[in-house]
Amino acid sequence: MSENCIFCKIANKEIKIDLVLETEDLVAFKDINAQAPFHILVIPKKHYETLNDIKNPELLGKLFEGVQNVVKKLNIEDGYRTVINTGKKAGQEVFHLHIHILAGRPFTWPPG
């Protein structure tokens, strides 16, 4: 638990969220400022600031397994985008590792 980390508070159930899926290691919930009809965040319960800070391939695998289970549950397996913003330059605002899952509208490439 990192002091004043909003996603640690979510993992600790101190902040109310719209839960999609939970396991021993992760929580998946709806983004409060959805950028698509489906916008889910998958976070590890344990605090890692960025993708660079997690040295645990097993947990990384579990997070992506979480993504697979979320898209199955929401029936969006046929088209979704996953995003991990790493660092301020890439648009990261919450420094607790999270995977965005976006779906339900067309997406352009290259991303903005």
Residues contributing to the site for ligand AMP (CB under 6 A): 6, 15, 17, 31-33, 41, 85, 91-94
Angle at 104 between CA 100 and CA 105, to 5 degrees: 100
Nearest CB to ligand AMP, comparing residues 58 and 98: 98
Nearest CB to ligand AMP, comparing residues 64 and 78: 64
By a kind-dependent CB cut-off of 5 to 8 A, residue 96 interacts, out of ligand AMP, Zn ion, none, with: Zn ion
The nearest distance, CB 106 to Zn ion, in angstroms, is 33
CA distance 32 to 3: 21
By a kind-dependent CB cut-off of 5 to 8 A, residue 8 interacts, out of ligand AMP, Zn ion, none, with: Zn ion
CA distance 28 to 21: 5
Burial class (CB in 10 A: 0-12, 13-18, 19+), 38: buried
Task: Based on the residue annotation, tell me whether 47 is a catalytic residue of this protein.
Answer: no
